[in-house]
Structure 1
Amino acid sequence: MSLSTHVLDSSSGRPARGVAVRLLRGERVLGAGVTDDDGRLRDWLPDGEPGRGVHRLVFDTGAYFAACGVAAFYPEVVVTFSIDDPAAHYHVPLLLSPFAYSTYRGS
Structure 2
Amino acid sequence: MSLSTHVLDSVQGRPAEGVPVRLDKGDRLVGTGATDQDGRLRDWLPDGEPGRGVYRLTFDTAAYFSDLGVKAFYPEVVITFVVDEPDAHYHVPLLLSPFAYSTYRGS
Global fold match (TM > 0.5) = yes
Query: What CA distance in whole angstroms lies between the structure 2 residues aligned with 1:61 and 1:22?
Result: 12
- What whole-Å deviation, never above 9, does each CA across 1:22-74 have from its counterpart, x for those lacking one? 00000111000000000000000000001100000000000100000000000
- Equivalent residue, structure 2, for 1:51: 51
Query: What CA distance in whole angstroms lies between the structure 1 residues aligned with 2:74 and 2:42?
Result: 24
Ranges in structure 2 where 5+ consecutive residues have no aligned partner: none
Query: What CA distance in whole angstroms lies between the structure 2 residues aligned with 1:39 and 1:22?
Result: 15
Structure 1 residue 6: deviation in Å?
A: 0.1
- Is it true that 1:100 corresponds to 2:105 in the alignment? no
- Equivalent residue, structure 1, for 2:20: 20
Amino acid across the alignment from 2:12: S
SS where residue 21 of structure 2 aligns?
A: strand
SS where residue 64 of structure 2 aligns?
A: helix
Ranges in structure 1 where 5+ consecutive residues have no aligned partner: none
**TM-score normalised by structure 1 residue count:** 0.99
Amino acid across the alignment from 2:5: T
Equivalent residue runs for 1:18-97 within 5 Å: 18-97=18-97
**TM-score normalised by structure 2 residue count:** 0.99
Q: How many residues align?
A: 107
- The share of aligned pairs that are identical, in percent, is 78
Query: What CA distance in whole angstroms lies between the structure 2 residues aligned with 1:103 and 1:5?
Result: 10
- Equivalent residue, structure 2, for 1:7: 7
